[in-house]
């Protein structure tokens, strides 16, 4: 029998959470953790993180000779979670001395301690579910993810929903990796190096009717503006709708304020929700649904789910 979330994850107060993570103390102090985030710094940060991906993929292929190619992409994702944790463990100065079995998480504005891998799978499944929900309402033949990183979401969407899924990312290693997986597995995926802030990324959809998605990618740009929506909506082949799974700032609960402080001290995006409200006021987009702070596999950087369509 499956455990209920209440037993799998143990509730903690903000004060008690400090024993499991350095973030409560940093949020309380409110001191900037890093600043001056820009596209060049983000590119350098993710380039160094993704460098190991191609090697890990080759090792994965070598160690799973009997696995059908169709399952190779999905099974690699689990290995990627472990690779990610090794990278986290290498940087206690950022993440603290964390234990994957007892990490600080959040669900709908409450803090919990629980297993990081379980929370990560729930978060990844939320992405697939959000695309499936969008498909019940909108007609599209492809998904485009901006800031696709390791291709985690496009691999999941292509495998689980059978939808061609394309990505764009500022890190060149991201596109190299996704295209290698496509070549080795035959999955209908692909990626290009793009800057979603300054470039027209609608070409990624290859002329299909498409859904735009972003998953913790817009968070990387401290400021987003109305012009971004104008450009996306005004392009020759605009998306039929968009789903953002991002830390979107809204509401005034104590936890919502702690999330704003987290974004500020990390120099993450703080104004996407305002830019979106402007776009809605200008009649460019219509917000269809918004579920705030559903799950935080990083507690104070929780994923909200928001869908808009062209008005
Ligand atoms: C936190 S990661 C998320 C990756 C992926 N969406 C996922 O869910 O695993 C953020 C990604 O956004 C990419 N990124 C940040 N700024 C970008 C930009 N201006 N244009 C394109 N990609 C960008 C980074 O390179 C990185 O891969």
Most confident of 52-61, 87-96, 190-199: 190-199
Query: Once rounded to an integer, what is the mean pLDDT over residues 172-190?
Result: 95
- Say what the pLDDT of residue 33 is: 77
Task: Check if 174 has its Cβ closer than 6 Å to any atom of ligand 1.
Answer: yes
The residue whose C-alpha atom lies closest to atom 24 belonging to ligand 1 is 147
- Say what the pLDDT of residue 5 is: 53
When pLDDT is cut at 50, 70 and 90, the band that residue 6 belongs to is low
Pick from 37-41, 167-171, 253-257, 270-274: least confident: 37-41
Alpha-carbon radius of gyration of the chain: 19
- Say what the pLDDT of residue 171 is: 93
| Integer Cα distance of 116 and 121 in angstroms | 9
Task: Compute the C-alpha angle 289/290/293, nearest 5°.
Answer: 155
Nearest atom in ligand 1 to the alpha carbon of residue 43 is 25
Helices (H), 9-151: 14-17, 23-29, 39-50, 53-63, 69-89, 92-95, 116-137
- Say what the pLDDT of residue 3 is: 52
- 4: pLDDT strictly greater than 80: no
Report the separation in Å between the CA atom of 149 and the middle of ligand 1, taken as the mean of its atom positions.
5
Report the separation in Å between the CA atom of 157 and the middle of ligand 1, taken as the mean of its atom positions.
17
Task: Check if 298 has its Cβ closer than 6 Å to any atom of ligand 1.
Answer: no
Task: Check if 50 has its Cβ closer than 6 Å to any atom of ligand 1.
Answer: no
Task: Check if 42 has its Cβ closer than 6 Å to any atom of ligand 1.
Answer: yes
Average pLDDT, the chain: 93
Report the separation in Å between the CA atom of 169 and the middle of ligand 1, taken as the mean of its atom positions.
6
When pLDDT is cut at 50, 70 and 90, the band that residue 187 belongs to is very high
Task: Check if 169 has its Cβ closer than 6 Å to any atom of ligand 1.
Answer: yes
Q: Each residue of 248-285: pLDDT tens digit? A: 999 999 999 999 999 999 999 999 999 999 999 999 99
Q: Each residue of 198-251: pLDDT tens digit? A: 999 999 999 999 999 999 999 999 999 999 999 999 999 999 999 999 999 999
- Say what the pLDDT of residue 284 is: 96
Query: Once rounded to an integer, what is the mean pLDDT over residues 44-55?
Result: 85
Q: Which of 37, 38, 46 to mutate to test the pocket of ligand 1 (most atoms within 8 A of CB)?
A: 46
| Integer Cα distance of 211 and 7 in angstroms | 36
The residue whose C-alpha atom lies closest to atom 10 belonging to ligand 1 is 217
Query: Once rounded to an integer, what is the mean pLDDT over residues 41-69?
Result: 88
- Say what the pLDDT of residue 34 is: 72
Task: Check if 147 has its Cβ closer than 6 Å to any atom of ligand 1.
Answer: yes
Nearest atom in ligand 1 to the alpha carbon of residue 197 is 19
* Entry pTM: 0.95
Report the separation in Å between the CA atom of 218 and the middle of ligand 1, taken as the mean of its atom positions.
7
| Integer Cα distance of 244 and 234 in angstroms | 19
Nearest atom in ligand 1 to the alpha carbon of residue 198 is 19
DSSP symbol at 166: E
How many H helices and E strands in the chain? 13, 10
Q: Each residue of 79-109: pLDDT tens digit? A: 888 888 888 888 888 888 888 899 999 999 9
Structure-token pair, residue 133: 């929900």
| Integer Cα distance of 258 and 237 in angstroms | 39
**Strand 103-107 with 285-296, pairing:** antiparallel
Task: Check if 52 has its Cβ closer than 6 Å to any atom of ligand 1.
Answer: no
Task: Check if 144 has its Cβ closer than 6 Å to any atom of ligand 1.
Answer: no
- 1: pLDDT strictly greater than 60: no
Query: Once rounded to an integer, what is the mean pLDDT over residues 182-202?
Result: 96
- 43: pLDDT strictly greater than 60: yes
- 128: pLDDT strictly greater than 80: yes
213 phi, psi to nearest 5 deg: -130, 150
């Amino acid at each position: 029998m499956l455990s209920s979330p209440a037993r799998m994850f143990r509730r903690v107060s903000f004060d008690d959470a400090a024993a499991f993570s350095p973030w409560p103390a940093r949020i309380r102090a409110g001191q900037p953790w890093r600043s001056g985030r820009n596209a060049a710094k983000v590119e350098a940060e993710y380039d160094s993180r993704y460098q190991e991906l191609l090697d890990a993929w080759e090792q994965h292929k070598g160690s799973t000779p009997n696995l059908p190619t169709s399952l190779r992409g999905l099974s690699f994702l689990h290995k990627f979670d472990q690779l990610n944790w090794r990278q986290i463990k290498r940087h206690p100065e950022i993440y603290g001395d964390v234990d994957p079995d007892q990490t600080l998480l959040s669900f709908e504005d409450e803090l919990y301690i629980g297993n990081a891998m379980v929370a990560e799978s729930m978060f990844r499944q939320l992405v697939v579910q959000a695309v499936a929900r969008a498909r019940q309402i909108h007609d599209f033949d492809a998904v485009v993810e901006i800031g696709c990183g390791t291709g985690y979401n496009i691999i999941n969407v292509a495998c689980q929903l059978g939808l061609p899924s394309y990505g764009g990312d500022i890190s060149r290693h991201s596109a190299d990796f996704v295209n290698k997986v496509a070549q080795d597995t035959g999955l209908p995926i692909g990626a290009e190096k793009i800057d979603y802030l300054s470039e027209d990324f609608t070409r990624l959809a290859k002329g299909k009717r498409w859904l735009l998605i972003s998953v913790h990618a817009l968070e990387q740009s401290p400021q987003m503006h109305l012009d971004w929506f104008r450009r996306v909506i005004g392009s020759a082949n605009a998306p039929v709708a968009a789903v953002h799974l991002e830390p979107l700032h809204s509401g005034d609960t104590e936890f919502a304020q702690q999330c704003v402080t987290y974004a500020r001290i990390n120099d993450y995006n703080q104004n996407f929700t305002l830019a979106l409200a402007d776009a809605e006021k200008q009649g460019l987009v219509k917000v269809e649904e918004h579920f705030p702070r559903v799950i935080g596999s990083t507690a104070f950087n929780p994923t909200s789910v928001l869908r808009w369509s062209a008005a």
